[in-house]
Amino acid sequence: MQTSIIPQLRDTPDGEEADRILRACTHCGFCTATCPTYQLLGDERDSPRGRIYLIKQVLEGEAPTQKTQMHLDRCLTCRACETTCPSGVEYAKLADIGRDLVDQQVERPVHERAIRWLLRHIVAYRNRFAFFFRLGHFFKPLLVGPLAPLKQKMPPRRKALAWPKNDNATRTMLVLDGCVQPVAAPNTNAHAARIFSQLGVQLIAPKASGCCGALSQHLSHREEANDFARRNIDAWWPYIEDGAEAIVLTASGCGASVVEYGHMLRNDPAYAEKAARVSELARDLSDILAQEDLSQLGDLGHGRQVAYHPPCTLQNAPQLHDNVAEILAQAGYKLTHVRDSHLCCGSAGTYSILQPTMANQLRENKLASLNAGDPDVIVTANVGCQLHLESAAGVPVRHWIELLEPSAAAA
Amino acid sequence: MADAAIADAAEKVLASRPDKAQLIDKLVAELPEHVVLHAEEDLRPFECDGLSAYRQLPMIVILPETIDQVQTAMRVCHANDVAVVARGAGTGLSGGALPMDNGVLLSLAKFKQILDIDTENRRATVQPGVRNLAISEAVSHLGLYYAPDPSSQIACSIGGNVAENSGGVHCLKYGLTTHNIVQLEIVTVDGERMTIGSEALDTPGYDLLALMTGSEGLLGVIVEVVVKLLPKPERAQVVLAAFDDVRKAGDAVAAIIQAGIIPAGLEMLDSPAIIATEEFVHADYPTDAAAILLCEVDGTHAEVDEHIADVTAVVEREGATEVRVSRDDAERAVFWAGRKAAFPAMGRISPDYYCMDGTIPRKALADVLIGIGELSKKYGQRVANVFHAGDGNLHPLILYDANIEGELERTEEFGGAICELCLEHGGTITGEHGVGVEKIDQMCVQFPPDELTQFHAVKNAFDDKGLLNPGKAVPTLHRCAEFGAMHVHNGELPFPELERL
Amino acid sequence: MTTSADQTDQLTERVRAAFESKSPLKLTGGGTKAFLGEQVKGDTLDVTGHTGVVNYEPGELVMTARAGTPLSELEAVLEAEGQMLAFEPPHYGDNATLGGTIVSGVSGPARPFTGAARDFVLGTRIINGQGQALRFGGEVMKNVAGYDLSRLMAGAYGTLGVLLDISLKVLPLPRTQITRVFEHGPSEALTQISDWQRKPWPITGAYWEDGKTYLRLAGATSPVESACEKLGGETLDDDKPFWRDVREQQRPFFSNADKPLWRLSLPPAAPMLDIDGDCVIDWGGAQRWLASDIDAVALRRIVKDEGGHASVYRGDASPRFHPIGESMLALQQRLKRSMDPAGILNPGRIYPEL
């Protein structure tokens, strides 16, 4: 596609990258077919191709308004479009650049700014989030009137399981604890640690690590995201030097972010090399388990019906590999057929909070597809999807790793 | 004389300068405000379809949600003499949905419902914005599918397919869109709703279904389509044959047909196309081949076995250097994935490409390919060839860089030369992409003035003010005169009465 | 061998003269389809002298021939190369011409399975109502340059143009053909045929008459045989004369001239209509022949309710073809004028007003 980016942007790193990405786009429209928002709304401006165009016009010097901002906000960044793009357009990278650029020029209304600030300054910090999470549960009865929707968004409190002792472990791997997951679904990593322990692998979650940075990245604070990345790299680096084999990502949303560290910090001389190494080591939980001998786990499923929702981040981030279905089948579960499994459930990081109408519509469609096969349980591989679906599912929604533990599997 | 009046109407609409503010007022008086877009920021994403070399900011975009709203929009535009360009998924490759700065762009993209699936009669009633592939997906569990499969089928919509009479990989055996639909609901230029065709296999009176199909939005706005569904073949298998010479591959195509086999699909990719698509799909295409043929046969198990053996024997006899047969459906899908993504995959080896669509008799394949190679040298531009060899439908992709000044113009000229090469070999300038704006000048070469005048007269029967998609598909005689390279009939220069610019 | 004569100039001259004097022309070929539709008053324009195969290359699957060429001659030429007209055109007499076949748009028992006459038209050369010889479409498989006026000629009964040459897609003859016979009542036959058509079998004919369903399979040998195995039923020996008689309306059902004969064109799975009279089913249910004294208006109402239409083949009902709505008629009149501004080509042949 022809481009004419304005001179003041053209030679910046963002401008160069945006130009490179835009030039690859041929405007064929294949991306519209897999875009959840275009499929719902049928408006070119809510399709990847339309958003590319909206971003292009900003790069070419047109002043955006709240309308452009809204259409960019409505994008889930699920990256389904990237999988159908024959020209290799790196849409998500362009969207990040575009959102930043638009947010610099279009001021958001106060309430939007407030929500975004809170998301960045509370949710992204495990302890702060935990505090408000407890507080929320305490005041739950008071969530009425306009605050009532929050009640539905609030996941149940769960009792934390103990981590294994790992006396016999001969190998070590790192695991990202993140921000929301340890509070809202504390047992995902605990389950993973117990299963890895059976396989002779010790999982380590360094205290100093935290949010992967995706939250800030998608809220147009890319420098803040880079800081989160640096913090995690610092926390992991000593272990990596000590021979940790991999960084296990149990939430694919975080995974998609960590595998990008190399790209995010490529221009930071102090971190570029370490970040690239971290991205190399980062792998999805299912990808790592697929390499291990799981036969010792035995038949856990006894033919129970499972509907699997593969998170977009796991399907679409090119560096992550999804082996969940194969592992569950091997463990004796029967996977139901799920229509349109490429479509996003609407969770998409902070999306379900910022775009509740779209998110709920997508969730409704997703649950209809998931429930069509009459499953005993719905599983997914990302805490965001898990919580979002759980709040309306009518069937238990779990992280799939839980199904590999005999105690949990039976429950 | 009627002809002059008709030509006049078209010219008048193209040159008209409607009052935008007034029209917006009239539209929002009868339509919800949010369906009428008029700020430049909102309009920009609609400025082109799948042919991004041609761009034009529309004056207004309407995004109706109901047929009522379509009728209202048409009525208002008709009453105010404003042109209307209908648009589906915007994947067209001839600029058929290129907007007008003095017209309304009417998007049918919100019409995404499959309204009815009738298994007894093997039909589906769908709205025009339904994606081609979505129809087959929706009836797959019934053992049925919708046959025409343009390469953009993942994204292109059925309304656009009807407007362009889209073909695809499988139309040699299963026909074009025109062979696979039975009924249309259209909204006429003045907002009337009308049924074309019927639920039976024929309709009394003229076959307007045939006329509407492929009319590129110049005769009416399609708001509902009843398509035929076919039983899925028991099995389909693809033979991939590599050749070290384009001529041998071309001859093999003719040989397969001559052997009495009608393959479900018979496609060819030349070396640049193989290399570019291989990078995207990793289908393990032989990247050192000069050309590959993909020949699909389908039917019952026994039938497929019989034909696979026949095809393999033919291509081997014609000098294939390598022959592979798809082992399962997954591998078959991978073989096709490369073919279907081939156009946009050019984005990986070139910033821009220009896709041609000539159709020629099969026997001329090798000659025309070699001719295109010579033109490529002459113009100094790379060409990749990906095409429906079984139908003789070529898709030369001219690679260029739109950011380099003058490249697009040279590319257009090169494209025109390819069109004319096809005509010299008894072919046509467009097999399935439509004329749009892209090939409108070549229409003057393909058709003499009397034929063009007849087209305008037919258009006039549907749209006497010339408001539907003006400037597309059929050139005005003035335009042909300006283009200069006109059909020369019996040695006479046509339109002697027209002044040359 | 076929005769060959190009009368383009003479025919064009005749039409031009008629255009100038505004005198209607009655187009005639072999006269075998004259009984269809309405009668035309006008000077006879006979196209049977415009004959011959213009181009036929079996490897291209295309044949171009002049409109006056006898259909039987063309079929013989094709058969010699192992090919055919896959829409199985009815002749309705020895003198049927290619032009008459196309303008009347008639197709035989294979129609729902392989396509109609119009589906095989690739290009035409015609004379419009102003006496201009025009060429549309071509000899290639796919062609979307300009409106599809060639296919529009099929079934237009010469009211939009005088056909000169027609280019058709032709197909290889099937290697094998087998017909199976089943005992069915009419409703059972319809259900059964609908079910069979959802199977990927090479069906090319499905006809019901007097308690028996006749299913024809044709194509490569192996799929025909394997489908027959699954189908059961009795084989009809020497089935070619049977299907010829169906195509040509030579079955005994058609020769009983007591009652008017109606052609009902319906959605294939439409139920059996509750009408007094005898009925046979062709086209897998989509074409039903009815011998009945029922009132034309009543019949047409019933048929229309089922999504179909009714035309009279024998009898004196008027109009002969199922009437179309007012705005549709107005559109078709405008279309007619666009090709024949003086209204001289077979005026009133389809409807008195067209």
Give the domain-ending residue among A266, A289, A312: A289
In 3D space, the residue among B50, B110, B43, B53 whose CA is nearest the CA of residue B415 turns out to be B53
User: Does a structural domain hold residue A130?
Assistant: no
- Which residue from C minimizes the CA distance to B300? C223
User: Does a structural domain hold residue A238?
Assistant: yes
The confidence band for A73, taking pLDDT boundaries of 50, 70 and 90, is: very high
- Which residue from C minimizes the CA distance to B437? C145
User: Does a structural domain hold residue B55?
Assistant: yes
Q: How far apart are CA C158 and CA C103, in angstroms?
A: 6
The pLDDT of residue B478 is 87
User: Does a structural domain hold residue B431?
Assistant: no
Strand blocks (E) in chain C = 25-28, 43-46, 53-57, 62-66, 83-84, 121-127, 133-137, 162-169, 171-172, 176-183, 203-209, 212-219, 234-235, 261-265, 278-282, 287-291, 309-314
Q: How far apart are CA B115 and CA B129, in angstroms?
A: 12
The pLDDT of residue B4 is 62
Q: Which domains does chain C have, with CATH numbers?
A: 8-172 (3.30.465.10), 176-247 (3.30.70), 258-314 (3.30.70)
- In this model, does residue A166 exceed pLDDT 70? yes
Interchain touch C–A (≥3 Cβ pairs closer than 8 Å): no
Q: Are residues A340 and A401 in the same domain?
A: yes
**Nearest-5° Cα angle at B324, B321 to B330:** 150
The pLDDT of residue B300 is 87
Do B431 and C140 make contact, defined as CB atoms within 8 angstroms?
yes
The pLDDT of residue B496 is 46
DSSP readout, B126-167?
E-TTSBHHHHHHHHGGGTEE-----TTTTT-BHHHHHHHT--
Residue window 221-280, chain B: list those with CB within 8 Å of chain C.
Answer: 231-234, 254, 257-258, 260, 262
The pLDDT of residue B5 is 65
User: Does a structural domain hold residue B192?
Assistant: yes
* Exposure string over C221-245, b if 16+ CB within 10 A, otherwise e: ebbbebbbeebebeebeebeebbee
CA B441 to chain A, closest CA, distance in angstroms equals 23
Do B231 and C200 make contact, defined as CB atoms within 8 angstroms?
yes
Q: Are residues B103 and B142 in the same domain?
A: no
Q: Are residues A304 and A280 in the same domain?
A: no
Residue B330's contacts (CB-CB under 8 Å, 6 or more residues apart) are none
Q: How far apart are CA B470 and CA B448, in angstroms?
A: 20
Which chains have at least 3 CB atom pairs separated by less than 8 Å from chain C?
B
DSSP readout, B1-27?
-HHHHHHHHHHHHHH----HHHHHHHH
> The CATH number of the domain where B132 resides is what?
3.30.465.10
Q: Which of A26, A30, A89 sits opposite B155 (nearest CB)?
A: A30
What token pair was written down for A343?
A: 């479509």
Q: Are residues A273 and A185 in the same domain?
A: yes
What token pair was written down for C224?
A: 């025909």
ipTM of the complex in this document: 0.97
User: Which of B35, B41, B411 is best to mutate for the A interface (most A CBs within 10 A)?
Assistant: B41
Q: Which of B118, B179, B214 sits opposite C115 (nearest CB)?
A: B179
Do C59 and B257 make contact, defined as CB atoms within 8 angstroms?
yes
Roughly how many angstroms between the first and final C-alpha of chain A, as a whole number? 55
Residue window 376-395, chain B: list those with CB within 8 Å of chain C.
Answer: 388, 390-393
Least trusted range by pLDDT, from A267-281, B195-209, B360-374? B360-374
Q: How many CB atoms lie within 10 A of CB C81?
A: 15
Q: Are residues A405 and A362 in the same domain?
A: yes
> The CATH number of the domain where A363 resides is what?
3.40.50.1860
> The CATH number of the domain where B264 resides is what?
3.30.70.2190
Give the domain-ending residue among B299, B328, B344: B344
Q: Are residues B179 and B127 in the same domain?
A: yes
- Domain region containing A16: 7-105
CA C239 to chain B, closest CA, distance in angstroms equals 23
The pLDDT of residue B337 is 83
User: Does a structural domain hold residue A52?
Assistant: yes
A409 CB within 8 Å of a chain B CB = no
> The CATH number of the domain where B13 resides is what?
3.30.43.10
Cβ-based contacts of B155 with chain A (< 8 Å): 28-33, 84
Pairing type for strands A247-249 and A171-175 reads parallel
The confidence band for A144, taking pLDDT boundaries of 50, 70 and 90, is: low
Do B429 and C145 make contact, defined as CB atoms within 8 angstroms?
yes
Number of structural domains, chain B? Answer: 3
Q: Are residues A318 and A340 in the same domain?
A: yes
Q: Are residues B119 and B218 in the same domain?
A: yes
The pLDDT of residue B493 is 47
Q: How far apart are CA B239 and CA B364, in angstroms?
A: 23
User: Does a structural domain hold residue B376?
Assistant: no
Give the domain-ending residue among A105, A120, A147: A105
Do C198 and B473 make contact, defined as CB atoms within 8 angstroms?
no
User: Does a structural domain hold residue B401?
Assistant: no
- Which residue from B minimizes the CA distance to A61? B41
The pLDDT of residue B487 is 47
User: Does a structural domain hold residue A74?
Assistant: yes
User: Does a structural domain hold residue A154?
Assistant: no
Q: Are residues B126 and B46 in the same domain?
A: no
Find tokens 């069979």 and name the residue.
C196
- Domain region containing B132: 114-231
Do B215 and C147 make contact, defined as CB atoms within 8 angstroms?
yes
Q: Are residues A30 and A93 in the same domain?
A: yes
- In this model, does residue A269 exceed pLDDT 80? yes
Cβ-based contacts of A4 with chain B (< 8 Å): 403
Tens-digit pLDDT profile for residues A387-399: 999 989 989 999 9
Q: Are residues A177 and A280 in the same domain?
A: yes
Q: How far apart are CA C226 and CA B304, in angstroms?
A: 12
The pLDDT of residue B486 is 47
* Residue A132 exposed, middle or buried by CB count within 10 Å (0-12, 13-18, 19+): middle
User: Does a structural domain hold residue A85?
Assistant: yes
Q: Which of B207, B359, B443 sits opposite C142 (nearest CB)?
A: B359
Q: How far apart are CA A257 and CA A320, in angstroms?
A: 11
B454 CB within 8 Å of a chain C CB = yes
Q: Are residues A283 and A190 in the same domain?
A: yes
Q: Are residues B199 and B125 in the same domain?
A: yes
Q: Are residues A74 and A180 in the same domain?
A: no
Phi, psi of B229 (to 5 degrees): -115, 145
CA B161 to chain A, closest CA, distance in angstroms equals 15
User: Which of B35, B38, B43, B44 is best to mutate for the A interface (most A CBs within 10 A)?
Assistant: B44
- In this model, does residue A410 exceed pLDDT 80? no
Number of structural domains, chain A? Answer: 3
Q: Are residues A213 and A269 in the same domain?
A: yes
Q: Are residues B140 and B223 in the same domain?
A: yes
Q: How far apart are CA B209 and CA B177, in angstroms?
A: 11
The pLDDT of C204-211, averaged and rounded, is: 97
The CA–CA distances, whole Å, from C98 to C4, C106, C274 equal 14, 11, 37
- Which residue from B minimizes the CA distance to C114? B174
Give the domain-ending residue among A65, A80, A105: A105
- In this model, does residue C125 exceed pLDDT 80? yes
User: Does a structural domain hold residue A112?
Assistant: no
Tens-digit pLDDT profile for residues B444-486: 999 999 999 999 999 999 999 999 999 999 999 888 988 875 4
User: Does a structural domain hold residue A41?
Assistant: yes
Q: Are residues B38 and B95 in the same domain?
A: yes
Side-chain-side CA neighbours of B430 within 13 Å: the count stands at: 33
Q: Are residues A384 and A306 in the same domain?
A: yes
> The CATH number of the domain where A228 resides is what?
3.40.50
Q: Are residues B263 and B323 in the same domain?
A: yes
What token pair was written down for B450?
A: 């009397």
A66 CB within 8 Å of a chain B CB = no
Q: Are residues A392 and A352 in the same domain?
A: yes
Q: Which of A3, A31, A87 sits opposite B345 (nearest CB)?
A: A87
